[in-house]
Amino acid sequence: MEKWLTAALDYLPRWTAFQMLATEQPGCSVAVAHKGKVVLEFALGHADLHKGTALTPRHRFRVASHSKTFTAAAVMKLREQGRIGLDDRIGHHIDGLHEAIAATRIEQLLSHSAGLVRDGADSGQWTDRRPFLDEAALRADLDGGTAIEPGTRFKYSNHGFGLLGLAIESITGEPYAEWVGREIVAASGLRETGADAPFALTSPSVPFARGHSPKLPLGRRVVIPADNPTHALAAATGFVSTASDLARFYASLAPAAKKSVLSPESRREMTRRRWRDPHASIERWYGLGTISGALADWEWFGHTGGFQGTITRTVCVPAHALTVSVLTNASDGPSNIWLDGTLHVLRAFSRHGAPSRRTAAWSGRWWSLWGATDLLPMRDKVLIANPMLANPVQDASEIDVSAGRRNGSATGRVALAGGFANHGEPVRMVFDARGKARELWLSGSQLLPQARIERELVARYG
């Protein structure tokens, strides 16, 4: 593993823990895979706030629309076997559909361009007001035909993936969860993943992360069971998994992955950009069961998921053989934001390199009345990061470190900073007799370790 990656992985849990405290989230589980192998996994917070159950990396989450990627992989596997085609009409595999819906193609359903209703006339299944739909209810919701003309734009539809689940059952002659569980999940070497709950939670020894509401409007979070079966919508939203399993699975879908249940051709088809989100401020594209985009020059594919009380996201950056999964168990969980922040940190270390002997001592979290500052040593510079930001290295000032220490201090200068910061000014780190850093001076600002700033604030303000 590259040295820069080791240094980045060392910082990520500390940044995420700071974000957890600052946002008062119940829990977060994170995994990073490199070349298909999990190189970091950690969990913070609680699986159940009311019970005080600590969250671990082994806790399963409802990962919702990640299910669509598994369903797309199943369809592509059947395609490789010659049992379905992307140009097939869905009516060829499912009888009794409205004429307009029967005419939509498998590729359109996989890419959300079939023009179908998103969640039906009563989408109370998403707010725990009703059970998820069975096959009869799903068919009834689609009796009115398509909502818009197929093939005209990207229009997300959980019902469309519900139809794909029914098609898989029709072709294989097996329940969706059983066939996909064997041919995709188990075949991918995933041991903590199941196609639905309680199907995936039949053993009491399987730890499960409960969902949580936002703090408003009650002023406190309530626990959401989140273990309800999704029936005919399992192919769209039923999956239960861990961050590590998701990181491994999405890594295996990269076209260049060495091990996968799918051929490189199928993986290219799944991850190829087909439809752009036409009304969004952030550039996003949809392929076949995958979302794609870019963070600066890092292009990625993956998926997000939102279930009752959980928000989750996984992305793969093929060019760097990196996959990241961030799972949060609250309806306001910032998994999308934290995953982007994780990519920013990884990208910064990738660009600037691992700490050198000259910069390594310039590290740690430093505090003042204005909050925390993190020093991130890299090969030939030190970044001044802000852990409170969603991107902690955004517009980060850079320190050029002088060689060696003199009189218990190391010195440097702010070599690059914004116009409102301290560009060109001196920096000094002071060490105690044991060689431990005890204060940091950024120009005229003294920053201290957390314990010292806590004592100072209490003494001054009570």
Alpha-carbon gap, residue 195 to 70, rounded angstroms: 9
Check whether residue 452 and residue 406 sit in a common domain. yes
Quick one: which of 41, 48, 69 has its CA closest to 242?
41
Give me the pLDDT at residue 409, please.
Answer: 87
Check whether residue 397 and residue 303 sit in a common domain. no
Alpha-carbon gap, residue 288 to 13, rounded angstroms: 32
Question: Which residues of the chain are under the pLDDT cut of 50?
Answer: none
DSSP 454: H
| Cross-strand bridge partners of residue 38 | 33
DSSP 208: B
Alpha-carbon gap, residue 326 to 244, rounded angstroms: 10
Out of 333, 352, 382, a domain closes at 333
Residue 320 domain-assigned?
yes
Alpha-carbon gap, residue 125 to 62, rounded angstroms: 14
Give me the pLDDT at residue 202, please.
Answer: 67
Check whether residue 326 and residue 371 sit in a common domain. no
Check whether residue 373 and residue 424 sit in a common domain. yes
* Total domains in the fold of the chain: 2
Alpha-carbon gap, residue 325 to 335, rounded angstroms: 9
Check whether residue 312 and residue 193 sit in a common domain. yes
Check whether residue 97 and residue 208 sit in a common domain. yes
Check whether residue 308 and residue 424 sit in a common domain. no
Write the CB contacts of 120 (distance below 8 Å, at least 6 apart in sequence). 133, 137, 138, 141, 159
Q: Structure tokens of 385? A: 């990061």
Q: Give the structural domain span for 377.
A: 364-461
Give me the pLDDT at residue 408, please.
Answer: 81
Q: Structure tokens of 71? A: 């369903």
Check whether residue 329 and residue 369 sit in a common domain. no
Any idea what the CATH number is for the domain that residue 237 is in?
A: 3.40.710.10
Check whether residue 395 and residue 315 sit in a common domain. no
- Give the pLDDT confidence of 121-135 residue by residue, as tens digits: 999 999 999 999 999
Q: Are the CB atoms for 326 and 335 separated by under 8 Å? A: yes
